[in-house]
Amino acid sequence: MNPLIPSPDPIPLPAPAWLLEGLLVFTLFLHLLPMSLLMGGGSLTVISEFLGRRDDRHRRLAQATARLLPVVVAFTITLGIAPLLFLQVVFGPLFFSSSILMAWPWLSIVGMMLVGYYGYYWHSFQFERLGRRAVWVTLASAALFIIIGLLFTSNMVLMLTPARWGALYKAGRSGMQLGLAEPTVLPRFLHMFVASLALSGLGIAILGAVKARADTAFGTWVRQYGLRWFVAATWLQFAVGFWFLASLPASIRSLFLGGGTVETGLLIVALSLAVISLLTIQRWLAFGTTAILGTVALMVVIRDRLRAAYLASEFDPAKLAIQPQMAIFALFVLILLCGIAAIAWMVWKFALANVPRTQQ
């Protein structure tokens, strides 16, 4: 084990590591959905606001997405707590060490999140009053959340490369070591960001399908506009994904190119579902959406396998001490399921609020 990796927390795990990692994967999938809508949705709103100065359809679309962004931020933050906690419980020695190396940028995330959240609320409630200034408010908030995404990516990569910690610490003890020189940081971040544009385009398409019930012409245009973004960003995602794959160390990359049965199989199925979604989504929106959600779910699992490959010789969660507390853990699972049900109910009620009464 790398001597730079601190000893695990003396408090035993409350459940087997495989179960905690499974919950990490599951809750991360739940978090990635609103997070993608937040990052990509903010960017697409900025574009529509600029285009809305000459096209009323874009202005109406920007106004609609501006109303949704504060809600998306709330879901992103709320659903991001659980995977972050599971990450700390299982991979604490790695995560806390990488966070210390980039301490100041990491701590600044809280401030940037608050400012960006306030900006979206301001934009939502004062859209008409802000006029042409609204786009700059959206742009500032969108930029802050994109920077937050880059910082998270940097930390997650730094966490996986403890062999670099010593050199980074010697290079400067100011807590400003972002590790951006690591070859995988940029393609990994772009892999997430381009995916967020695709999912946000899909979200706009679904919004258009809802609005078409009251305004067929506008709703149809919104649906097609969103699908164009989804298709273009998904094709771009293939290129970015292969760049990300090529940036990985050779020993790890080979696992996804035939060297590992599970890893290669997961990647093939994920790519196949993405292609199926592209081929069907214009005609069958629900089916194409289901297929791409399958791709996202598998990509989260692939991310977990990638982390395991990076840390194979450095850190093994299966060796951590365990003191099962299954009664408390069962209570947690029950509360988690109730929380998911409550969120689903809120989303349903929110969707109904945006449907004309004659259509409900």
pTM: 0.90
Of 16-30, 124-138, 295-309, least confident by mean pLDDT is 124-138
Instruction: Give the per-residue pLDDT at 353.
Output: 67
Contact 188, 153 (CB under 8 A): yes
What mean pLDDT is reported for the chain? 89
Confidence of residue 1 (pLDDT cuts 50, 70, 90): low
Instruction: Give the per-residue pLDDT at 354.
Output: 58
Q: What is the C-alpha to C-alpha distance for residues 136 and 120, in angstroms, rounded to an integer?
A: 11
Instruction: Give the per-residue pLDDT at 358.
Output: 46
Q: Residue 44 corresponds to which amino acid?
A: L
Q: Where are the domains of the chain?
A: 17-339
Instruction: Read off the pLDDT of each residue in 137-149 and give the average, rounded to a whole number.
Output: 94
Instruction: Read off the pLDDT of each residue in 148-167 and give the average, rounded to a whole number.
Output: 91
Instruction: Read off the pLDDT of each residue in 124-144 and give the average, rounded to a whole number.
Output: 85
Instruction: Give the per-residue pLDDT at 147.
Output: 96
**DSSP-assigned beta bridge partners for residue 13:** 322
Confidence of residue 347 (pLDDT cuts 50, 70, 90): confident
pLDDT at 359 over 80: no
Could you write out the three-class secondary structure of the chain?
A: CCCCCCCCCCCCECCCHHHHHHHHHHHHHHHHHHHHHHHHHHHHHHHHHHHCCCCHHHHHHHHHHHHHHHHHHHHHHHHHHHHHHHHHHHHHHHHHHHHHHCHHHHHHHHHHHHHHHHHHHHHHHCHHHHHHHHHHHHHHHHHHHHHHHHHHHHHHHHHCCHHHHHHHHHHCCCCCCCCCCCCCHHHHHHHHHHHHHHHHHHHHHHHHHHHCCCCHHHHHHHHHHHHHHHHHHHHHHHHHHHHHHHHCCHHHHHHHHCCCHHHHHHHHHHHHHHHHHHHHCCCCHHHHHHHHHHHHHHHHHHHHHHHHHHCCCCCCHHHCCECCCHHHHHHHHHHHHHHHHHHHHHHHHHHHHCCCHHHC
pLDDT at 221 over 60: yes
Confidence of residue 188 (pLDDT cuts 50, 70, 90): very high
- pLDDT tens readout for residues 317-330: 888 888 888 888 88
Q: What is the C-alpha to C-alpha distance for residues 57 and 168, in angstroms, rounded to an integer?
A: 50
pLDDT at 248 over 70: yes
Instruction: Give the per-residue pLDDT at 356.
Output: 52
Regarding predicted confidence, which is higher, 300 or 168?
300
Instruction: Give the per-residue pLDDT at 174.
Output: 80
Instruction: Give the per-residue pLDDT at 167.
Output: 82
Q: Which residues contact 31 (CB under 8 A, 6 or more apart)?
A: 76, 79, 80, 82, 83
- pLDDT tens readout for residues 16-47: 899 999 999 999 999 999 999 999 999 999 99
Instruction: Read off the pLDDT of each residue in 153-166 and give the average, rounded to a whole number.
Output: 91
Of 31-45, 89-103, 159-173, least confident by mean pLDDT is 159-173
pLDDT at 355 over 60: no
Confidence of residue 114 (pLDDT cuts 50, 70, 90): very high
Instruction: Read off the pLDDT of each residue in 120-141 and give the average, rounded to a whole number.
Output: 85
Instruction: Read off the pLDDT of each residue in 214-223 and give the average, rounded to a whole number.
Output: 89
- pLDDT tens readout for residues 274-284: 999 999 999 99
Confidence of residue 169 (pLDDT cuts 50, 70, 90): confident
Confidence of residue 247 (pLDDT cuts 50, 70, 90): very high
